[in-house]
Amino acid sequence: MPFIEMKTAKATTEQKEKLVEGFTRVASETLGIPASAFYVLIEENEPENWGVGGKLLPKLMAEKK
């Protein structure tokens, strides 16, 4: 059984549904394995636990506004 794992900051249920559908579809088409065989795990982390370019994600997002 293929297993897909994604780590992200907090996401809505709608966003997670789209991610699971999208990852499964692309992996199924790419590998030629039925979509029903895939397991997808989304691991959420607080934005304060992510750093990009030496800055915490909330600060980086605030600067982009």
Query: Which of 50, 3, 45, 40 lies closest to 19, judged by CA?
Result: 40
The pLDDT of residue 64 is 86
Q: What is the Cα 13 distance to its own chain's centre?
A: 12
Residues labelled catalytic:
2
* pTM higher than the cut 0.85: no
pLDDT tens digits, 12-51: 999 999 999 999 999 999 999 999 999 999 999 998 999 9
Structure tokens at 58: 């909330």
Q: Are 53 and 15 in contact (CB under 8 A)?
A: no
